[in-house]
Amino acid sequence: MSGRRRRAIAIVGLAAAAVAGVAFAYLRPVLLPEHVRTSASASPPTITVPGEQVAITFLTPRIGWAAATVEPLEHTLFVFATDDGARSWRQTATLTMSVSVAAPPHIFRFFDETHGVLGLGNDGSIFRTNDGGRSWSRVSLPEGAWPPVFADFNDLWAITYSGPSSAAKIYSTTDGGASWARLPDLPVNGAVVFDNPNDGWLAADRQRVYRTTDGGRTWHRLGDLPRAECTQAPHQCAAGGAGVNLTLLSDGGLLAEDYAYEPQVVFISLNGGLGWRQVPLPPGAIDWNQVSYQDSMHWWLVNDNRLLKTADAGASWTVVSSSLPFALSQPTILDSDHAWVTFGEGDSSAVGDVLLITSDGGLSWKRAVVPIPH
Burial class of 158 by CB neighbour count within 10 A (0 to 12, 13 to 18, 19+): buried
Query: pLDDT of 303-351, one tens digit each?
Result: 888 999 999 999 999 999 998 876 677 889 999 999 998 765 554 444 4
Residue 280 has pLDDT above 60, yes or no: yes
Q: What is the mean pLDDT of residues 285-291?
A: 85
Distances, alpha carbon 135 to alpha carbons 82, 93, 114, 127, in Å? 16, 6, 10, 10
Residue 120 has pLDDT above 60, yes or no: yes
Residue 40 has pLDDT above 50, yes or no: no
Please state, in angstroms and rounded to a whole number, the distance separating the CA atoms of residues 200 and 197: 8
Please report the pLDDT score of residue 5 as a whole number: 38
For residue 210, the cross-strand partners are 202, 221
Residue 233 CB partners (closer than 8 Å, separation 6+): none
Residue 55 has pLDDT above 50, yes or no: yes
Q: Which of 85, 40, 91, 38 is nearest to 58 (CA)?
A: 85
- 240 confidence band (pLDDT: 50, 70, 90): low
Please report the pLDDT score of residue 1 as a whole number: 43
Please state, in angstroms and rounded to a whole number, the distance separating the CA atoms of residues 214 and 139: 24
Across the chain, mean pLDDT equals: 80
Render 119-154 in DSSP notation, one character per residue.
EETTTTEEEEESSTTS--EEEPPPTT--S-EESSSS
Query: pLDDT of 175-232, one tens digit each?
Result: 999 999 999 999 988 889 999 999 999 998 767 899 999 999 999 999 888 887 765 5
Please report the pLDDT score of residue 199 as a whole number: 97
For domain 7-367, the CATH superfamily is Prolyl oligopeptidase, N-terminal domain (2.130.10.120)
Q: Which of 17, 24, 70 is nearest to 206 (CA)?
A: 17
Query: pLDDT of 248-276, one tens digit each?
Result: 999 999 999 888 777 778 999 999 999 99
Contact predicate 27/46, CB 8 Å = no
Residue 56 CB partners (closer than 8 Å, separation 6+): 24, 26, 64, 65, 66, 67, 108, 340, 342, 355
In three-state secondary structure terms, 235 is helix
Residue 22 has pLDDT above 60, yes or no: no
